[in-house]
Amino acid sequence: MNNTAMTHTGPHEAARRYVALIPAAGVGTRMAAGRPKQYLQVGGKPMLRHTLDAFRSSPLIAHTYVVVSADDPVIDGIVPPDGVTVLRCGGASRMETVRNGLRTLHGIVSQDDWVLVHDAARPGLDAELIERLIVETGEHPAGGLLALPVVDTVKRNVGGEVATVSRDGLWLAQTPQMFRYQLLLRALDAAGGSDPDASRITDDASAVEALGLAPKLVEGHPRNLKVTLPADIRIAEMYLAAFQPTSQ
């Protein structure tokens, strides 16, 4: 596995390094599967392993960190032998898990390294999408994220009656979401404070937006769907079969 291509430089650019951070401390209650959904089998291997292998397949990613709960009994049998480090500092929420992971990486990654945060339950990621996010985000000061433009008609339920909402400019956020280490940690620290409207922080990008910044949207792909309900597993397997991953 080639994880040595850690920096990219241009004639007027400082070296930049990319690491992946995967929060995997959730229990996946909506799956009703009796175990965390990231460990359910998808296409013949655990969902989380697909995610780890996607980052390991990318020569742009220097290293991958997966954040689990302190007493996770499964992860050691899931992680590959190289390119991945387990951080046992997961929190009660996704945001807390990401924040704990970032704090653990203090001094391991630099303040200006790029961190790609990705949902463990998105097994359809591949090296091509990772490269697209990195290349198209470039040096954008607010970072960037994969997303899909809304194509269906959108309805809002108002007291049991529907009202059509314009879909112009609406996008569905995906992951990875990519930000400089120092910016992302500052944003999550601020979001985890005494903000009375903390419920508006639903992903890493919204925490950065709360600082008054606007991350760049980079078009993703439907195969990068998030597995939330049992029926989603079959959909993910169909995409995995149609889009064979890069050799690992």
Rounded Cα distance, 226 and 29, in Å = 14
Rounded Cα distance, 227 and 237, in Å = 10
pLDDT of residue 238: 95
Strands 114-117 and 171-180: antiparallel
Question: Hey, what domains does the chain have and what are their CATH numbers?
Answer: 7-242 (3.90.550.10)
Rounded Cα distance, 164 and 44, in Å = 41
**pLDDT tens by residue, 27-39:** 654 454 557 889 9
Could you write out the three-class secondary structure of 4-61?
CCCEECCCCCCCEEEEEEEECCCCCHHHCCCCCHHHCEECCEEHHHHHHHHHHCCCCC
User: pLDDT averaged over consecutive 10-residue blocks of the chain (248 residues)?
Assistant: 41 71 77 73 95 97 97 94 96 94 97 97 97 98 98 92 94 98 97 62 95 98 95 94 64
Structure tokens at 56: 């390991």
Which amino acid is it at 136? E
Strands 41-42 and 45-46: antiparallel
Those residues whose C-beta lies under 8 Å from the C-beta of residue 84, and which sit 6 or more positions away, are 52, 56, 63, 64, 65, 66
Structure tokens at 128: 């091509």
Burial category of 168 from C-beta neighbours within 10 Å (exposed 0-12, middle 13-18, buried 19 and up): exposed
